[in-house]
């Protein structure tokens, strides 16, 4: 892996994600166009397209040989070891109803492993940056997942894919966790939950079949902040998956969180 490519990609991502975030900030609470884009009620706004256009154009200018996959535009370019994943507005449904919980996410993958993740929260001006082997930073300060003496009575983030809806198994697990934890948090802006875990503001994440352009930046954030990310069988989660089932937390809490999830899934 070319470290110069990675460093250039980092500098580029930080610059263009601010531009995209500024578009969202300027348009917040003043949206002219909101459209339903699928049968599950997910929406897309003009901001998704405007921010996406800025990001894609800049990446193509600097790295024309890299492949890009973006939330709205789909796949751009030929197969490459380098793949950019873009979510120009993570939390679009929140944005559309005036809820100030959203972000922009850019991930660079190398041979299907995340090596750079940048997440920007425009309304708080929080910039999260993580590069493989170099830790995770929020506004240039290192952050780390935290161990809690009160676990599992902690704050757990729940993330599920749009297609999951009210799948009985997911509902069962979610309700089981909700009863046993202090709080189950559903932000509908997954990248922010991953960043909260990396920063020590959440105690864990349970992700139920939610794969997309907003996933891998968060996974890298948590791993580089000292967290563990495993599948529901307890195996380290690496690479990419079209149907991920994931647990993430501080290493101290892995056994307890894994046991809770297994118990919740085994109920009849």
pLDDT in tens, 102-140: 999 999 999 999 999 999 999 999 999 999 999 999 999
Beta bridge partners of 84: 68, 108
Q: 48: closest CA among 59, 37, 60? A: 37
**What domains can be seen in the chain, in order of their start residue?**
3-142 (3.30.540.10), 155-266 (3.40.190.80)
Residues of each annotated binding site:
71, 87, 89-90, 214
Structure token digits, residue 264? 């919740």
pLDDT in tens, 50-65: 999 999 999 999 999 9
For residue 123, give the 3-state DSSP assignment: coil
pLDDT at res. 150:
86
pLDDT at res. 267:
72
Q: What is the pTM of this model?
A: 0.94
CA dihedral sign, ordered 91, 136, 115, 61: positive
Structure token digits, residue 146? 């935290």
pLDDT at res. 45:
83
| pLDDT, the chain, mean | 93
Q: State the pLDDT confidence band at 41, using cuts at 50, 70 and 90.
A: low
- The residues, any chain, with a CB within 8 Å of residue 218's CB and separated by 6 or more, are 105, 117, 119, 190, 191, 193, 194, 195, 198
Q: Is residue 236 scored above 60 in pLDDT?
A: yes
pLDDT in tens, 182-232: 999 999 999 999 999 999 999 999 999 999 889 999 999 999 999 999 999
pLDDT in tens, 74-85: 999 999 999 999
Q: Is residue 44 scored above 90 in pLDDT?
A: no
pLDDT at res. 37:
62
Question: CA-CA distance, 204 to 123, in Å (whole number)?
Answer: 24
135: left (phi over 0), alpha (psi -120 to 50) or beta: left
Residues of each annotated binding site for Mg(2+):
71, 87, 89-90, 214
Q: State the pLDDT confidence band at 260, using cuts at 50, 70 and 90.
A: very high
Residue at token pair 């195996």: 235
């Amino acid at each position: 892996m070319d470290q110069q490519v990675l460093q250039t990609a980092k500098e580029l991502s930080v610059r263009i994600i601010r531009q995209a975030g500024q578009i969202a900030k300027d348009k917040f609470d003043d949206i002219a166009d909101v459209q339903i884009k699928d049968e599950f009620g997910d929406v897309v706004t003009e901001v998704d397209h405007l921010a996406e256009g800025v990001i894609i154009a800049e990446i193509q200018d600097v790295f024309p040989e890299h492949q890009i996959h973006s939330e709205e535009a789909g796949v751009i370019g030929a197969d490459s070891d380098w793949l950019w994943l873009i979510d120009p507005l993570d939390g679009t449904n929140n944005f559309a109803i005036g809820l100030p919980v959203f972000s922009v996410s850019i991930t660079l993958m190398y041979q299907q492993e995340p090596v750079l993740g940048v997440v920007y929260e425009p309304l708080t001006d929080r910039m999260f940056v993580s590069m493989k082997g170099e830790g995770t930073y929020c506004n240039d300060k290192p952050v780390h997942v935290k161990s809690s003496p009160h676990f599992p009575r902690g704050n757990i983030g729940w993330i599920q894919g749009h297609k999951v809806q009210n799948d009985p198994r997911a509902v069962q697990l979610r309700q089981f966790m909700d009863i046993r934890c202090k709080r189950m948090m559903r932000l509908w802006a997954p990248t922010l939950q991953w960043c909260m875990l990396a920063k020590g503001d959440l105690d864990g994440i349970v992700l139920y079949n939610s794969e997309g352009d907003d996933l891998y930046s968060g996974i890298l954030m948590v791993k580089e902040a000292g967290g563990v990310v495993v599948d529901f069988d307890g195996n380290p989660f690496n690479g990419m998956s079209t149907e991920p089932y994931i647990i993430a937390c501080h290493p101290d809490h892995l056994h307890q969180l894994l046991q809770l999830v297994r118990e919740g899934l085994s109920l009849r």
